[in-house]
Amino acid sequence: MGTGNRSGFTLLEVLAVIILIGLALSLAQPAVERSLEKTRIQAIAKLLRADVATLRETAATERSAQVVDFTAQGYAFQLGEHPIRRDFSGEQFHFVIPAAAPEPEPSREPDSPGDGESPPEPASGSRSALQLLPDGSTPGMQLAWRTRHFQGRLVIREDGEVQWNDAPQSAGDQPASR
């Protein structure tokens, strides 16, 4: 029996390639995770801007104030007869609600008995309310927010403009691992 030239890879070579691919993926994973998180934050900011613009327009056309209730998990509001709740808890995103946030004042009376149903209550009791007035103004508000790798501040100015500021968290600001 002759020993001819065999082509192929040895088990050791295949294992070395698999280990190198695993190492490269493990080094790239944090950057990919941060990029995806940043994209989710931008989507939340875009949705919030659109909702505030819609509520400002609704306040002006219906000539009645509109209220947005912010909770740690997201925010809720009433659009006509439809309660809308935006919950971002699955995104590891939360607003930092001040401990002594005042309860919102009711802005309008319900048109009919079934009409005044408010959005579902948040799981935690802490919340902060933003009122959008018929003239397009608002008292304004600022709320801090956090994710796993980023933190920032939501600023809604008196003219209704929404500013969304964000930055990576420093090592000392990292929330505890869960």
Q: Note the pLDDT tens digit of each residue in 1-31.
A: 556 677 888 999 999 999 999 998 888 888 8
**CA dist 31 → 26, 35, 100, 149, 169 (Å):** 10, 6, 37, 11, 14
Which helix (H) or strand (E) is 83 found in, with range?
Answer: strand 82-87
The sign one gets for the Cα dihedral 52, 55, 61, 67 is: negative
In angstroms, the first-to-last Cα distance of the chain is: 63
The pLDDT of residue 167 is 74
Tell me the DSSP string of 39-68.
Answer: HHHHHHHHHHHHHHHHHHHHHHHHTS-EEE
Is the model's pLDDT at 123 over the cut of 60? no
- Sole residue written with tokens 């659109």: 50
DSSP structure class, residue 92: T
* Residues 55-112 pLDDT 10s: 999 999 999 999 999 999 999 999 889 999 999 988 789 899 887 544 555 444 444 3
Is the model's pLDDT at 116 over the cut of 70? no
The pLDDT of residue 126 is 64
Give the pLDDT mean for 22-48: 90
For the segment(s) 14-107+117-173, the CATH number from 3.40.50.300, 3.55.40.10, 3.40.50.1460, 3.20.19.10 is 3.55.40.10
Reported pTM: 0.68
Domain spans, the chain: 14-107+117-173
